[in-house]
Structure 1
Amino acid sequence: MTRLTKNNLSSKIMKTKMHLYFSKAVFFVFILSCFVGFSQQNISGTISDEEGVPLPGVNVVIKGTNNGTSTDFDGNYSISADQDDNLIFSFVGFLDQEVKVGTSTNINVSLQLGSSELDEVVITGYGTSKKRDLTGAIAQIKTETIQRANPVQAAASLQGQIAGVVVTKTAGKPGDAFDINIRGLNNFDNEKTRPLVVVDGILGANLNDINPVDIETIDVLKDASSTAVYGARGANGVVIITTKKGSSGKPSVSYNGYYGQKTQAHMPNMMSSRQFYDLYKDEERFGRGFTAQELYNVENDITTDWLDLVSQEAIQQNHTISVSGGSDSTTYNFSAGKQLEEGLVTGNDYTRLSLNAGVESQVSDKMKVGFTAYLTENERNWGSHEAVRSAMRARPTATPFFDDIVNANKRDTNFGPVGPYAFYMGINDSQVINPLVEIHPDNYQRQNRSNSLIANVYLEYEITPGLKFKTSYSGYNNNIREGEYRGTFTKSRKGSRSPIASTNQFKTSNYTIDNTLTYQAEFGKHSINATALASIFEEYNEQIGLAVEDLPYKSLWHSLGTGATVTNYGSNLEEYSIASYMGRINYGFNDKYLLTLTGRYDGASQLAEGNKWAFFPSAAIGWRLSEESFIQDLGAFNNLKLRLSYGEVGNNASINPYATQANIFQT
Structure 2
Amino acid sequence: VGVRNLSTGKSTVTDAQGMFKIEVNNENDLLRFTFIGFKAQEVKAGTGGSPLSIKLASDDTKLNEVVVIGYGTQNRNEITSAITKIDSADFRQSGSRNALDLLIGKVAGLQITRTGGTNPNSGVGVQLRGVTTLAGAASPLIIIDGIPGGNLDLLQQDDIESFSVLKDGSAAAIYGTRATAGVIIVTTKKGKRGPSRFDYNAFIRTETLVKRPDFMTASQYRERIANGQVQGTDYGSDEDYFQNLINKDNLSHNHNFAVSGGGETSFYRASVNFRDVQGFARENSRKEYGLRLSLTQTGLQNRLTAQFNVAANFNNANLLGGGGWETVLTRNPTESYYNPDGTFKFTRNITNEVARLEQEKSSRQQQTSSVDAKVDFQIIEGLKASVFGAHQRNWNL
Shift of 1:260: 1.3
In structure 2, what is the equivalent of residue 337 of structure 1?
273
Structure 2 residue runs without a partner (length 5+): 10-27, 42-55
Aligned pair in 2 of structure 1 residues 431, 90: CA closer, same or farther (>3 Å)? closer
| CA offset digits 1:596-628 (Å, max 9, x no partner) | xxxxxxxxxxxxxxxxxxxxxxxxxxxxxxxxx
Aligned pair in 2 of structure 1 residues 228, 58: CA closer, same or farther (>3 Å)? closer
Aligned pair in 2 of structure 1 residues 278, 259: CA closer, same or farther (>3 Å)? same
In structure 2, what is the equivalent of residue 434 of structure 1?
352
In structure 1, what is the equivalent of residue 324 of structure 2?
387
User: Partners of 1:137 and 1:90 in 2: how far apart?
Assistant: 18
User: Partners of 1:139 and 1:58 in 2: how far apart?
Assistant: 16
In structure 2, what is the equivalent of residue 236 of structure 1?
181
In structure 2, what is the equivalent of residue 29 of structure 1?
none
User: Partners of 1:246 and 1:332 in 2: how far apart?
Assistant: 5
Aligned pair in 2 of structure 1 residues 112, 241: CA closer, same or farther (>3 Å)? same
Task: Kindly indicate whether residue 393 of structure 2 is the aligned counterpart of residue 471 of structure 1.
Answer: no
Shift of 1:238: 0.8
Task: Kindly indicate whether residue 357 of structure 2 is the aligned counterpart of residue 460 of structure 1.
Answer: no
Q: How does 1:649-664 map to 2 (within 5 A)?
A: none
Shift of 1:317: 2.3
In structure 1, what is the equivalent of residue 221 of structure 2?
276
| CA offset digits 1:506-549 (Å, max 9, x no partner) | xxxxxxxxxxxxxxxxxxxxxxxxxxxxxxxxxxxxxxxxxxxx
Q: How does 1:168-187 map to 2 (within 5 A)?
A: 168-172=113-117, 173-185=119-131
In structure 2, what is the equivalent of residue 198 of structure 1?
143
User: Partners of 1:151 and 1:188 in 2: how far apart?
Assistant: 31
In structure 2, what is the equivalent of residue 256 of structure 1?
201
User: Partners of 2:396 and 2:95 in 1: how far apart?
Assistant: 26
- TM-score w.r.t. length of structure 2: 0.79
In structure 2, what is the equivalent of residue 307 of structure 1?
242
In structure 2, what is the equivalent of residue 509 of structure 1?
none
- CA RMSD, 1 decimal: 3.6
Q: How does 1:74-473 map to 2 (within 5 A)?
A: 93=37, 114-146=59-91, 148-172=93-117, 173-185=119-131, 189=135, 193-280=138-225, 286=231, 288-291=232-235, 294=236, 297=237, 303-313=238-248, 314-365=250-301, 366-384=303-321, 387-399=324-336, 405=340, 417=343, 422-424=344-346, 430-440=348-358, 443-464=359-380, 466-473=382-389
- What is the SS of the residue equivalent to 2:102? helix
| CA offset digits 1:28-82 (Å, max 9, x no partner) | xxxxxxxxxxxxxxxxxxxxxxxxxxxxx999989xxx8xxxxxxxxxxxx9xxx
Contact 1:196 1:239 in 2 (8 A): yes
Shift of 1:177: 1.5
User: Partners of 2:206 and 2:3 in 1: how far apart?
Assistant: 33
| CA offset digits 1:567-603 (Å, max 9, x no partner) | xxxxxxxxxxxxxxxxxxxxxxxxxxxxxxxxxxxxx
User: Partners of 2:266 and 2:294 in 1: how far apart?
Assistant: 11
- What is the SS of the residue equivalent to 2:62? coil
- What is the SS of the residue equivalent to 2:211? coil
- What is the SS of the residue equivalent to 1:277? helix
Q: Which residue identity lines up with residue 354 of structure 2 in the other structure?
A: L
Report which of the two structures shows the higher radius of gyration computed on alpha carbons: 1
Aligned pair in 2 of structure 1 residues 124, 431: CA closer, same or farther (>3 Å)? same
Shift of 1:93: 4.5
Aligned pair in 2 of structure 1 residues 170, 58: CA closer, same or farther (>3 Å)? closer
Contact 2:99 2:152 in 1 (8 A): yes
- What is the SS of the residue equivalent to 2:280? coil
Contact 1:456 1:475 in 2 (8 A): yes
Contact 1:202 1:475 in 2 (8 A): no
Aligned pair in 2 of structure 1 residues 324, 156: CA closer, same or farther (>3 Å)? same
- What is the SS of the residue equivalent to 1:439? helix
Contact 2:92 2:103 in 1 (8 A): no
- What is the SS of the residue equivalent to 1:445? coil
Contact 2:281 2:322 in 1 (8 A): no
Shift of 1:329: 1.4
Q: Which residue identity lines up with residue 273 of structure 2 in the other structure?
A: G
Q: Which residue identity lines up with residue 381 of structure 1 in the other structure?
A: N
Q: Which residue identity lines up with residue 183 of structure 1 in the other structure?
A: R
Q: How does 1:50-89 map to 2 (within 5 A)?
A: none
- What is the SS of the residue equivalent to 2:93? helix
Contact 1:394 1:434 in 2 (8 A): no
In structure 2, what is the equivalent of residue 539 of structure 1?
none
| CA offset digits 1:235-264 (Å, max 9, x no partner) | 111111111111011111111111111112
- What is the SS of the residue equivalent to 1:471? strand
* % identical equivalent positions: 25
Shift of 1:171: 2.1
User: Partners of 1:197 and 1:278 in 2: how far apart?
Assistant: 58
Aligned length: 360
- TM-score w.r.t. length of structure 1: 0.49
Structure 1 residue runs without a partner (length 5+): 1-56, 67-78, 80-87, 98-110, 298-302, 409-415, 482-667
Shift of 1:193: 1.6
| CA offset digits 1:357-379 (Å, max 9, x no partner) | 10111244243322012212233
Higher strand share: 1
User: Partners of 2:382 and 2:129 in 1: how far apart?
Assistant: 36
